[in-house]
Amino acid sequence: AAMAHHAPAAAGGAAGGAGAEPAPAAVKYLVLTGGTVSGLGKCTALSSMGVVLRSHGLRVTAIKIDPYLNLNAGTMNPFEHGEVFVLQDGGEVDLDLGNYERFLDLTLTSSHHMTSGKIFEQVIKRERTGHYLGKTVQMVPHVTDAIQDWIADVASKPVDATGLPPEVCLIELGGTVGDMETAMYL
């Protein structure tokens, strides 16, 4: 897992004048992927890292990425995929999001659970409404840009009692790195 490092915002904000508000710090990302076997505790490991980060005063959020084409986990076979967790906004998501909520004292939304189905649905809707201005819609750049935009948007939403934006976004990429379905996320 790697965490992106960003330079701290310059004192005095963009204008640099006295009394100017400092620019908000960029969210840092901690991404955990599977190796060659799925279901070996990525969620528990990432939740534990989140607890350590919180104990050092950092505000965290969590995103679970599942590379399947389903829009949510609500209609999936629990014997094949595990139980469903229902979020406060009614979203039926992977049980890992319930672990993140409990471990890290967060209130997540259904947008914190990204699936390939959600991404493809968004890209196709954009294509149908002319967002791409007649261009040939492709995996790169259109789908990969949609993934990055989704992560950046969700990572900036307040999810804890402070009401402030998170400083670190924990991202769990489900499945394994060898799965063809995860290639667009790596």
pLDDT, one tens digit per residue, over 114-162 is 999 999 999 999 999 999 999 999 999 999 999 999 999 999 999 999 9
Which CA distances in Å does 46 have to 67, 78, 96?
A: 18, 23, 10
For the chain, residues with pLDDT lower than 50 are 1-16
List phi, psi (to 5°) of 129.
-100, 10
pLDDT at 20: 64
> Within 13 Å, how many C-alpha atoms sit on residue 111's CB side?
14
Based on C-alpha coordinates, what's the Rg of the chain? 18
Full-model pTM = 0.85
CA 74 to mean position of chain CA atoms: 19
- Tell me what pLDDT residue 18 has: 57
Query: Distance between CA atoms of 72 and 170, rounded to whole angstroms?
Result: 20
Question: Which two structure tokens, joined as six digits, stand for 110?
Answer: 């259904």
Whole-angstrom Cα distance, residue 27 to residue 152?
Answer: 8
Q: What pLDDT is stored for residue 3 in this prediction?
A: 44
Check residue 98 and give its pLDDT. 96
pLDDT given at position 21: 64
Determine the Cα angle at 145 with ends 142 and 146, to 5°: 85
Report d(CA 170, CA 32) in Å as an integer.
Answer: 8
The rounded Cα 82 to chain-centroid distance in angstroms is 20
